[in-house]
Amino acid sequence: MEVHSIQQIGQIGVPVKDLEKAVQFYQDVLELPLLFNTGSLAFFDCNGIRLLLSLPEKEEFAHSSSILYFNVEQIHEAYAGFKRKGVSFIDEPHMVAKMGHTETWMAFFHDTQGNIHALMSEIEAQ
């Protein structure tokens, strides 16, 4: 492997408008462990990948263009649990792809800052 080769994703940044409200959602509702926060930044651990919530330094960084796909084992149970906690879902869990004996299911939702993310589960086809 060459020195300049990409090895892995080290951090994903999500722009927010209200850091306190966003931290509460990611920590209390999505139950991601808060690593630490400073004035305009909050860092969470998502199974070894660092998730950064930040107040954008410039307007050009103020809009999310990426969707975070959070893996869950049982998408229907996770969907029901997060819905009870007030997560605003765009749709219900649905199959998006079938590859051999594996089905990929997703359910898209909004965080409290208007960013779109998804629950994702790969299950054995019935």
pLDDT tens per residue, range 28-66: 999 999 999 988 899 999 999 999 999 887 777 677 667
Give the chain as a DSSP string: --TTS-----EEEEE-S-HHHHHHIIIIIS-PPEEEEETTEEEEEETTEEEEEE--SSGGGSS----EEEE-S-HHHHHHHHHHTT-EESS--EEEEEETTEEEEEEEEE-TTS-EEEEEEEEE--
pLDDT tens per residue, range 11-27: 899 999 999 999 999 99
Whole-structure pTM value? 0.78
User: Do 87 and 109 touch, CB atoms closer than 8 A?
Assistant: yes
Question: Which residue carries 């959602």 as its tokens?
Answer: 25
pLDDT tens per residue, range 66-85: 789 999 999 999 999 999 99
**For residue 3, is pLDDT > 60?**
no
Domains of the chain: 11-124 (3.10.180.10)
Instruction: Name the nearest CA neighbour of 18 among 34, 35, 40, 38.
Output: 40
What is the reported pLDDT for 109? 94
